[in-house]
């Protein structure tokens, strides 16, 4: 397509990331006839994103601060290979304002929002104040940061206990302390401050009323450079463990059409209030009475974006690229609908039966699910050794169904088909969640994993049966191979007793 002169056509994108998201971004680039450039660390020489890209450049040693976080090295590669734009993916430099700024200075399009809005939303106190000014509901609490113990006690007099002390530079649960009693104030503030200081180099903190058992519901938004903003509905992200999301779904089982409309309107207003551009997410806490409160804004493409893509039919990476090169959004709010139901399970290389310990090693066999309504976004292959340096998430399994019930059944079927040997994975833990009565009823909040841990962590005696069946079949296959010269010996399929035993995931 030929763009008007004032727009910058993107012809080559450098993807400043690795793993599944690097490949996810490059897939859309290929569909748009955009050339792709991979960067990789010494630990990623054999990674799939390197092979998938049109060009690939080594940028440093395995630790991310010597490679995927090396701003100047990445900019240097982008200039050398004439990339028009950089897509940062999620994590690494995706919410780094300095990086966005450096791209601008070098005339490289940063596929994301402005450096200014990254700074503003990265500071939770500033974000909160901006949203409050714009009339978006925020959790009752302080305006600005708090300095003294007296200030904290005065706020507690005002809003009551319990409260949360939160780091302004925080997010994802770091630098956060719950205060249930006035006697805990001093130690909680001190702990939050020192954690924030060492993690972010900024020890400012603020206070919010503690919302008991909230839902974490976020809205996807898209904004162009011409003032148009739409939302692409919600994602229910309450199923998490230690601030690590495990399962996301859309629509949220908690949502009503009225609440969706109201929260969607708030999400669009939030984006407009800060002149946001690109794809972003407005996170809300929703309490049991369906009151909702702005929590944080994520200024990046998120891990869980595929479920939104599946129900809206919109390629979010394609839209990011289009608005980054100055195009107008090609749809209005009224044209967007949610069709059916989508669920994502994050597959981690970790052992759910050993306190979710990361499980590194070589992938021996992998067989991914296929069939109607199934998508996997991954990057590992047989023989690949998962590096210890990065996130243990190895793939995302995304399903779609006409109804929530159909989506859950399809997810159970797809998890059953998913076979990975060589490393431990969270697949069987996901199977248990998909069979949990509370999950099936849509009856869950951010405390789901703790509340259901007895059922979720109990080892089902027959869960390993499928592995046994595979081993039996493999032995049988070897036996068959060894007897090919003897044509008379017939191949008899392995008979499994284990298959006859009913177990939780037999449906
Ligand atoms: C809260 C909260 C309750 N009340 N704030 C955790 C991550 C950080 N981004 C904000 N978090 C929370 N903030 C108030 N005022 C409960 C949480 C929280 C949580 C939020 C979203 C998803 C999972 C969570 C798990 C525990 C606590």
- The reported pLDDT for the residue numbered 149 is 85
Distance 137 CA to ligand 1 centre (A): 16
Contact between residue 401 and residue 251 where contact means Cβ atoms under 8 Å apart: no
Q: pLDDT tens, 189-241? A: 999 999 999 999 999 999 999 999 999 999 999 999 999 999 999 999 999 99
List CB contacts of 12: < 8 A, sequence separation 6 or more.
34, 35, 36, 37, 81, 82, 83, 84, 85
User: To the nearest whole number, what is the mean pLDDT of the chain?
Assistant: 92
Beta-bridge mates of residue 229: 223
Is residue 473's pLDDT more than 80? no
Instruction: Tell me the mean pLDDT in the region 425-443.
Output: 97
Which residues are part of the catalytic machinery?
Answer: 300
Tell me 88's DSSP state: -
Distance 173 CA to ligand 1 centre (A): 7
Q: pLDDT tens, 290-314? A: 999 999 999 999 999 999 999 999 9
Is residue 329's pLDDT more than 80? yes
Ligand 1 atom 15: residue of nearest CA: 210
- The reported pLDDT for the residue numbered 504 is 45
Q: pLDDT tens, 247-272? A: 999 999 999 999 999 999 999 999 99
Is residue 488's pLDDT more than 60? no
Is residue 487's pLDDT more than 70? no
Pocket flag, ligand 1, residue 210 (CB < 6 Å): yes
- The reported pLDDT for the residue numbered 505 is 46
Distance 199 CA to ligand 1 centre (A): 18
- The reported pLDDT for the residue numbered 507 is 39
Pocket flag, ligand 1, residue 171 (CB < 6 Å): yes
Pocket flag, ligand 1, residue 236 (CB < 6 Å): no
Pocket flag, ligand 1, residue 141 (CB < 6 Å): no
Is residue 500's pLDDT more than 60? no
Contact between residue 311 and residue 342 where contact means Cβ atoms under 8 Å apart: yes
Q: Categorize the per-residue pLDDT at 181 as very low, low, confident or very high, splitting at 50, 70 and 90.
A: very high
Pocket flag, ligand 1, residue 216 (CB < 6 Å): yes
Q: pLDDT tens, 353-407? A: 999 999 989 999 999 999 999 999 999 999 999 999 999 999 999 999 999 999 9
Sheet-wide strand order for 278-286: 292-298, 278-286, 215-223, 229-241, 244-250, 341-348, 393-401, 374-378
Q: Please give the Cα distance from 505 to 140 (Å, whole number).
A: 44
Instruction: Tell me the mean pLDDT in the region 169-174.
Output: 82
**18-32, 137-151, 273-287, 404-418: segment of lowest average pLDDT:** 137-151
Q: pLDDT tens, 119-166? A: 999 999 999 999 999 999 999 998 889 988 889 899 999 999 999 999
Q: Rg (Cα) of the chain, in Å, rounded? A: 24
Ligand 1 atom 19: residue of nearest CA: 446
Ligand 1 atom 12: residue of nearest CA: 173
**Which residue is it, tokens 């012809």?**
11
- The reported pLDDT for the residue numbered 1 is 57
Instruction: Tell me the mean pLDDT in the region 44-53.
Output: 98
- Residue with more model confidence, 467 or 252: 252
Contact between residue 250 and residue 233 where contact means Cβ atoms under 8 Å apart: yes
Q: Categorize the per-residue pLDDT at 506 as very low, low, confident or very high, splitting at 50, 70 and 90.
A: very low
The model carries a pTM of: 0.92
Q: What DSSP element (H or E) covers 450?
A: helix 448-451
């Amino acid at each position: 397509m030929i763009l008007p002169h004032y727009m910058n056509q993107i012809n080559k994108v450098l993807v400043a990331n690795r793993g599944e998201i690097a490949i996810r971004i490059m897939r859309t680039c290929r569909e748009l006839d955009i050339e792709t450039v991979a960067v990789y660390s010494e630990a990623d020489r054999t990674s799939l994103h390197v092979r998938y890209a049109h060009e690939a450049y080594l940028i440093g040693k395995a630790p991310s601060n010597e490679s995927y976080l090396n701003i100047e090295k990445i900019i240097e590669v982008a200039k050398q290979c004439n990339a028009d734009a950089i897509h940062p993916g999620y994590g690494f430099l995706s919410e780094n304002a300095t990086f966005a700024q450096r791209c601008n200075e070098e005339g490289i399009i940063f596929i994301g929002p402005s450096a200014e809005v990254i700074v503003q939303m990265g500071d939770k106190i500033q974000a909160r104040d901006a949203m409050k000014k714009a009339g978006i509901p925020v959790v009752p609490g302080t305006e600005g940061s708090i300095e003294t113990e007296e200030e904290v006690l005065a706020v507690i007099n005002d809003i009551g206990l319990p409260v949360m002390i939160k780091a302004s530079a925080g997010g994802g649960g770091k630098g956060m302390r719950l205060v249930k009693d006035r006697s805990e104030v001093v130690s909680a503030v001190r702990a939050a401050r020192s954690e924030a200081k060492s993690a972010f180099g900024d020890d400012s903190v603020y206070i919010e009323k503690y919302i008991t058992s909230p839902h974490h519901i976020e809205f996807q938004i898209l904004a162009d450079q011409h003032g148009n903003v739409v939302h692409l509905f919600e994602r229910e992200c309450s199923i998490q463990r230690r601030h690590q999301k495990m399962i996301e779904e859309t629509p949220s089982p908690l949502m009503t059409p009225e609440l969706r409309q109201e929260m969607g309107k708030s999400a669009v207003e939030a984006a407009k209030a800060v002149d946001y551009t690109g794809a972003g997410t407005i996170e809300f806490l929703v309490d049991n009475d369906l009151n909702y409160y702005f929590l944080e804004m994520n200024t990046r493409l998120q891990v869980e974006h595929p479920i939104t893509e599946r129900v809206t039919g919109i390629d979010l990476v394609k839209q990011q690229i289009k608005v980054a090169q100055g195009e107008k959004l090609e749809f209005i709010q009224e044209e967007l609908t949610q069709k059916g139901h989508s669920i994502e399970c994050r597959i981690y290389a970790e052992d759910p039966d050993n306190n979710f310990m990361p499980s590194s090693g070589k992938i021996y066999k992998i067989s991914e699910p296929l069939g109607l309504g199934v998508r996997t976004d991954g990057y590992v292959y047989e023989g690949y050794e998962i590096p210890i340096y990065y996130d243990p998430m190895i793939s995302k399994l995304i399903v779609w169904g006409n109804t929530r019930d159909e989506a859950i059944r399809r997810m159970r079927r797809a998890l059953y088909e998913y076979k990975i040997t060589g490393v431990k994975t969270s697949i069987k833990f996901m199977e248990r969640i998909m069979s949990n009565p509370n999950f099936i009823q849509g009856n869950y909040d951010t405390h789901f994993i703790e509340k259901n841990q007895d059922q979720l962590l109990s080892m089902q005696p027959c869960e390993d049966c499928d592995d046994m069946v595979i081993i039996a079949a493999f032995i049988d296959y070897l036996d068959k191979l060894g007897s090919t010269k003897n044509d008379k010996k017939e191949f008899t399929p392995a008979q499994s007793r284990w298959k006859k035993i009913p177990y939780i995931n037999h449906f």
